[in-house]
Structure 1
Amino acid sequence: MKYFHKNRFMKRTLSVSFIAMMATATSCNVLDKKPLDAISDEAVFNDPVFLQNYVYNVYNGIKPPWAPGTGGLDALTDIAVNQPETHERSAGIRNYLEGNLTADNVNDLASVAKELATPIPLWDYEYSYIRKANVFFENIESSTIAAETLDPMKGEVHFLRAWMYFELMRTFGGVPIIKNSFQLNAESFDVARNTFDECAQFVLAELEEASTLLDGEPVNTGKISKAAVLAFKARVLLFLASPLNNPNNDIAKWKAAETATKAIFDLGFTLHPQYAELFKKPLKTDETIFGKSFTPATRIPGWGYNYDFWPAGFDAQQRLVPTQNFVNMFQMANGQYPYAADGVTVNAASGYDPQKPEKNRDPRFYDAVIYPGAGPLNIIDGSKSTQRLYEYWEDANPNPDNAPPYINPNKVDPKNGQNLFDFGRDSKTYWVKGLTPFHWRVQTGYTFKKTDDFAGPRASFDNDYNQVVVFMRLTEFYLNYAEIEIALGNEAVAREYINKVRKRASVNMPDIKSTGAALVRDYRNERAIELHLEDTRFFDLMRWKAAPGNVDIAIRGLTKVTMDWTGTKPGDALGKMTYTYGVIPEAEVRKPWKGDYYYLFPIPNTEIRKSNGVLKQNPGY
């Protein structure tokens, strides 16, 4: 392993990296102290404002939920499907789902894109920020900053280093634990992997240190707090107790996770009454334990979540769409599933009507899924702002040669008498005729709603969108606790905590009363709908070793939706809609599950070569 002498390293690199970093500094006086291109390591590590900004830069090592692409890895699961024309990691997604993931192509999937730059392999990305953390610890040894100021920063960096190692562990398994700064351009890194258990112990030790250093520190929104440290420790312990990492079902691991998770409930967090508000500004600190907000200067990359999830049409990307499997996960308001376990047979006891699929569903359905006819939604496109429905249908009685009318005949512009066209698939005939510009298809007929900001424009570099990122919130730990109690045989306690989530004021679903395998299904279903697009579903399926039947599935959705305007009158927004369900022929074909080795990604071959073969590959690759 080749290491840098810290002073030589700092002199060469800090002046460059700090120019960008300090652009967001909060004190004008700080910027006046010294030209930014002359900041030395001595100045940085002996000035509390400079050093805090250095720490804030290390926060960027937390992989965002839009990496490796919008929706994290949800496109590898049963709840979402990648749209290949628009998803930036489409090739990597296809390789994984077709069973063709290799050490040579893994970086097509396991990568992080920053703005519009070339994606950075996840391995490189995390180790680059681990290096920043190591530089911090090497240089604060001689810092003159007072302990009461320096210690909280040390706590933050211990937490961040633990987070970054955990990201690598859950993706690749055991990885090299490196505590020194190192040269990123080195020709070789001849260092072996640590075992998974060694990595786990290192992460937990980092969190113990962070907890001590942050004890008694005031909580500031968006900053790492002791509560965030305790919550992350509980998450890690659940991961270690799960079947993938606990093949002998060591009960002691479940008990450790139980103790750590239960401690979260004493921190004063509560469920925010409105589910949909959790992902809008400001951060809902009653429930959110750790999250991030944005300004136009620090916005989500590209044009933000709107551009990625906005209902298709008018140049929206529409990179990821819900599957029928996901839609079917939402129970009816009476607590019954709309379909039997096969996802095709209607559950007669539910009262579900496939021709009225939006009726009487779990209230979270309306906050999560945009379905044909959904609305009205406030849509701002350029200078236009109006209330619109989501139109995804074709005419039941199209005219010969695709002649008009092929839209809602009851909607006309009062100013000029012309027909008004909404967003989405403004009827298949209208789309096929080529009258909708920049139109991406919606493979399944549904789009995601959870992260959209309909109060802002579809795409803008300047708009202050109301979206936030939630890294950890109380709901996750209620659900984690339920999982732990199921594993420990305490089903009544598990139901209690699942039902706490279902009793949120804006949800208020009936209590579940199931036991055994049915309880496990209810729990996992609840987790999927509650935490979708929060970068959890893929890693849940992996740690449960539950990929078969959940990853290697045919993609189902709406294969056809027709609208019959017969008998409608002026003012009617909808005619009679008819739905046809089935496998989406345009969607990727997912191959049978490859086997247990596929629960981890391969180490990139570039890293194996850099180590001169010292770094050993995961079995199976």
Structure 2
Amino acid sequence: MQRKYFLYIIAGLCVVQTACKRTLETEPQDRLTEELVFDEIDKNADNAKAFLLGTYALLPSISNRIGNTLLDATTDDGMASIDGDRSNDYRLGRISPLNVLDNAWDNSYKGIRQANMFLSKIDRVPTTDELKKQWKAEARFLRAFFYFELMKRWGGVPLVGDKVFGFRENINLSRNSLEETKNYIVAELDAVKDDLQPNIMADGEVGRANKGAALALKARVLLYWASPLYNEGNTPQWWTDAANAAKDVMDLGVYTLATAYTDLFITGKSTEMIFAKMQAPSQTLEQQNGPVGYLNAAAGRGLTSPSQNLVDAFPMNNGLPITDPLSGYDAANPYTGRDPRLDATILYNGKKWLNRPVETFEGGRDKPGGIVTQTKTGYYLRKFMGKFESTAAYANTTRHMIHFRYAETLLSYAEALNEAEGPVQAVYDNLVLIRKRAGIKAGANNLYGLPEGVTDKAVMRKIIQNERRIEMAFEEQRFWDIRRWKIAGEVMNQPVEGMKIDKLADGTFTYTRFNAAASVFDAARMYWYPIPYAEIETNPNMRQNEGWDY
């Protein structure tokens, strides 16, 4: 952590510039100092508030930010459509200290410094003690969030406490241990949870940290901590702690699953959304990932190709896996009668989009062949997009980056409780809630396709892991889940599969699975990121992660 990122004040400080209240322009408007941001005569604390909101701007956004695709398209759930896309460096094991694609190191420490600066300066601003207490809690929540972004990538990282380092200071901090990093995050969240805003906030406050967000982040941290990557000795109490943390979110009694799964991702506020980064309405995601065969204003670039592996993970609408002889799966009509979440996640051949069926058969309008970038798997992304089945073009859509939602809480509770106590009734109850909302049929036993009487936690573990995969697809969960479960060495050394579709003269189709891309995962070192070379080079006390010393 060198001074290269220690003079940043805020992303988007132009907001603050327009809010300055001084009568005389004693400072040039292009030189925004700490004294102007934390101004003793700014009676409404407008500048300080803008500074805090600017720290929120550093949170991860929903976007094609890894090469030209989403993070989870570097897993077995998909791949980039562009030949030679940089995201393939993950798939082929080509990351190194000089090539850390998802490098959140600079951004996270930038956010930590901004939070620390805010905490060190806010008391000079003439606003109420109550508001200061809330804002301080928000800053500490954000700081904890940024530390978790570091922890899940690199393990233990340097903890700077409340220190705001000066521009000229030589900062050669050593890494704290993984446990120290985890403990710091959890302690911070425990300290601030009751000072944050209520869980269901006014429309103008949506996107600000609240008590539910603090509890949800704690639950995720402890779920990771209990998982095999972190919990090498499989300490049962860690799973109990994770279950209790998720239950704390549930016991707030303010969150429920949204009625419609698709609508959840294109609305500004819902009973399921615990914490999200606000993003301006746009059609960028549709333009980046929509099918390529629409040649009018609605044209998409098709940059993300979901995998056949993911499509196979969705059960039938009776809740049974497609491999179950009783499921009713028909290989000649592979998308008929499936879990409704498949329709909400994937654009497949024949699905209606922009007033016509998607054509991903060979030579179809959305898979024309040649040099045009197009799906490499026979599928396009549907999730997060607006309802454009019956429109002629895309329109701006409200689409926030949901960092925590209630479905994850239910799944995390089920997972941790199963590991701690086995497949008890509460595990079933939470999975039933998820499947019922999805639109899966209840069945005669009201278990929504779940097998009755499971007593083996390993069997239930597979069910929970698959449910999490399909429910949270492309929400930046799968990438981390296969690592914390320590199954990446298994799933990421298998090829990404696609579906080759041929249209026959009579208008019917044939479906043939094929290997769309090879994958390589070196389990000896790739569960943790390499520390960026610049940090190792400039800090003699920085220790590299195992296996990345070259």
Same fold at TM > 0.5:
yes
The answer to whether 1:618 aligns with 2:545 is yes
- Which residue type is aligned with residue 349 of structure 1? L
- Which residue type is aligned with residue 102 of structure 2? A
- Which residue type is aligned with residue 576 of structure 1? T
Post-superposition CA distance 1:3-59 (Å, at most 9, x none):
89xxxx98xx65x96642337x7xx79698968446543342243221111100001
Task: Pick from 80, 90, 98 the counterpart of residue 96 of structure 1.
Answer: 90
The answer to whether 1:58 aligns with 2:42 is no
Secondary structure of the structure 2 residue equivalent to 1:583: strand
- Which residue type is aligned with residue 62 of structure 1? L
Post-superposition CA distance 1:167-186 (Å, at most 9, x none):
000001111112322357x6
Task: Pick from 231, 252, 262 the counterpart of residue 276 of structure 1.
Answer: 262
When residues 507 and 74 of structure 1 are mapped into structure 2, their CA distance, relative to the original with a 3 A threshold, is: same
- Which residue type is aligned with residue 382 of structure 2? K
- Residues paired across the two proteins, number: 521
Cα distance between partner residues in 2 of 1:262 and 1:324 = 34
Task: Pick from 174, 187, 207 the counterpart of residue 189 of structure 2.
Answer: 207
Task: Pick from 396, 399, 403 the counterpart of residue 467 of structure 1.
Answer: 399
The answer to whether 1:326 aligns with 2:310 is yes
Cα distance between partner residues in 2 of 1:188 and 1:595 = 35
Partner of 2:79: 81
Give the gaps of 5 or more residues in structure 2: 443-447
Task: Pick from 509, 512, 517 the counterpart of residue 450 of structure 2.
Answer: 512
Cα distance between partner residues in 2 of 1:370 and 1:359 = 13
The answer to whether 1:22 aligns with 2:16 is yes
Partner of 2:464: 523
RMSD: 2.9
The answer to whether 1:450 aligns with 2:443 is no
Cα distance between partner residues in 2 of 1:131 and 1:226 = 23
Partner of 1:416: none
Task: Pick from 254, 258, 268 the counterpart of residue 239 of structure 2.
Answer: 254
Task: Pick from 484, 501, 521 the counterpart of residue 434 of structure 2.
Answer: 501
Partner of 2:481: 540
The answer as to whether partners of 2:318 and 2:441 remain within 8 angstroms in 1 is no
When residues 458 and 246 of structure 1 are mapped into structure 2, their CA distance, relative to the original with a 3 A threshold, is: farther
Cα distance between partner residues in 2 of 1:330 and 1:218 = 32
Question: Which region of structure 1 is more displaced relative to structure 2, 526-535 or 232-241?
Answer: 232-241
Secondary structure of the structure 1 residue equivalent to 2:223: helix
Cα distance between partner residues in 2 of 1:328 and 1:173 = 33
Partner of 2:504: 564
Cα distance between partner residues in 1 of 2:362 and 2:185 = 54
Partner of 1:182: 165
The answer to whether 1:491 aligns with 2:431 is no
Cα distance between partner residues in 1 of 2:544 and 2:412 = 31
Cα distance between partner residues in 1 of 2:257 and 2:173 = 45
The answer as to whether partners of 2:199 and 2:274 remain within 8 angstroms in 1 is no
**What are the within-5 Å matches in structure 2 for residues 85-484 of structure 1?**
85=83, 90-91=85-86, 93-106=87-100, 109-111=101-103, 122-179=104-161, 180-182=163-165, 189-214=171-196, 219=201, 220-267=205-252, 268-284=254-270, 286-295=271-280, 304-313=284-293, 314=295, 316-339=300-323, 347-375=324-352, 377-378=353-354, 387-394=355-362, 423-425=365-367, 428=368, 431-432=369-370, 439-455=372-388, 464-484=396-416
Partner of 2:492: 551
- Which residue type is aligned with residue 110 of structure 1? D
The answer as to whether partners of 2:56 and 2:277 remain within 8 angstroms in 1 is no
When residues 82 and 18 of structure 1 are mapped into structure 2, their CA distance, relative to the original with a 3 A threshold, is: closer
Partner of 1:44: 37
Identity %: 30
Partner of 2:512: 580
Question: Which region of structure 1 is more displaced relative to structure 2, 316-325 or 60-69?
Answer: 60-69
Cα distance between partner residues in 2 of 1:33 and 1:455 = 52
The answer as to whether partners of 1:528 and 1:537 remain within 8 angstroms in 2 is yes
The answer as to whether partners of 2:303 and 2:375 remain within 8 angstroms in 1 is no
Cα distance between partner residues in 2 of 1:468 and 1:390 = 26
Using the TM superposition, give the Cα deviation of residue 468 of structure 1 relative to its aligned residue in structure 2, in angstroms.
2.4
The answer as to whether partners of 1:134 and 1:181 remain within 8 angstroms in 2 is yes
Using the TM superposition, give the Cα deviation of residue 502 of structure 1 relative to its aligned residue in structure 2, in angstroms.
0.5
Cα distance between partner residues in 2 of 1:262 and 1:148 = 29
- Which residue type is aligned with residue 165 of structure 2? F
Post-superposition CA distance 1:231-284 (Å, at most 9, x none):
111111111111111111222222221221111112211111110000012322
Give the gaps of 5 or more residues in structure 1: 112-121, 340-346, 379-386, 396-406, 408-422, 433-437, 567-574
The answer as to whether partners of 1:311 and 1:424 remain within 8 angstroms in 2 is yes
Using the TM superposition, give the Cα deviation of residue 448 of structure 1 relative to its aligned residue in structure 2, in angstroms.
1.3
Cα distance between partner residues in 2 of 1:501 and 1:260 = 19
Secondary structure of the structure 1 residue equivalent to 2:490: coil
